[in-house]
Chain A
């Protein structure tokens, strides 16, 4: 079984400041890693994913994440945030070995960007 811990339930930042949203996971098997974003009353939108290869993954809207196997982390970063980045962000993992690929999500981090 896998688990995902998002260490911060809320992260307030000022516009144009850098931000890091933290994600740690626990798994006895190799995993795929994902970050999704959810705007109010909407579904989840895929930001980026790590399947294999380079541990630094670039996604949409200027976000990137780095997979660190030794620390079992997949932190999300953006060098300069905008007001429009205000949303909830979810980290998720899935088991590489399972064909039907169920996702285990963290509880989410609310990013609050203020002017």
Chain B
């Protein structure tokens, strides 16, 4: 069966510091991968998605970036965090065919 991991689970970072969040999927090949952010009172916002290694599409312009160095690894990064980057970051995966996304456990990021 497939599983999805995210780490760290929680993170407290100062404004202006860098960020790296990691997501890995097990038990499947060539998944579509997604990063979402959930901010208080704003629902879920799609940040990036990837249909393959090295292929990244951005949905919202911001100071975040994403990379997919391996088939089942998806990384969310920032060079300098802003206060507004605080939130709950969720990674999701989907395989071609069944049109359903499955979510990881999330990372709670607090920028101070």
State the A residues within 8 Å of B (CB).
32, 34, 36, 41-46, 49, 51, 90, 94, 96, 99-108
Residue of A nearest to B55 (CB): A100
Complex Cα distance A32/B43, Å? Answer: 19
* Cβ contact within 8 Å between B43 and A41: no
Complex Cα distance A106/B43, Å? Answer: 6
Residue of B nearest to A45 (CB): B103
* Cβ contact within 8 Å between B102 and A46: yes
* Cβ contact within 8 Å between A102 and B100: no
Evaluate whether A49 and B44 lie within 8 angstroms (CB atoms) in the complex, with A44-B90, A102-B49 already known.
no
**Chain B residues numbered 8-43 whose CB sits less than 8 Å from any CB in chain A:** 32, 34, 41-43
- Picked from B42, B88, B101, the residue with its CB within 8 Å of the CB of A103 is B101
Evaluate whether A107 and B41 lie within 8 angstroms (CB atoms) in the complex, with A41-B108, A46-B102 already known.
yes
Most buried by A among B44, B51, B59, B96: B44
Contacts of A32 in B (CB 8 A): 99
State how many angstroms separate the Cβ of B77 from the closest Cβ of chain A: 20
State how many angstroms separate the Cβ of B84 from the closest Cβ of chain A: 18
Complex Cα distance A107/B6, Å? Answer: 23
* Cβ contact within 8 Å between A105 and B43: yes
* Cβ contact within 8 Å between B105 and A100: no
* Cβ contact within 8 Å between B103 and A43: yes
**Chain B residues numbered 51-67 whose CB sits less than 8 Å from any CB in chain A:** 51, 57, 59
Complex Cα distance A19/B32, Å? Answer: 34
* Cβ contact within 8 Å between A94 and B99: yes
Evaluate whether A46 and B106 lie within 8 angstroms (CB atoms) in the complex, with A101-B94, A102-B49, A105-B43 already known.
no
Complex Cα distance A12/B48, Å? Answer: 34
* Cβ contact within 8 Å between A100 and B100: no
Evaluate whether A43 and B94 lie within 8 angstroms (CB atoms) in the complex, with A90-B44, A105-B44 already known.
no
Evaluate whether A100 and B49 lie within 8 angstroms (CB atoms) in the complex, with A90-B43, A107-B42 already known.
yes
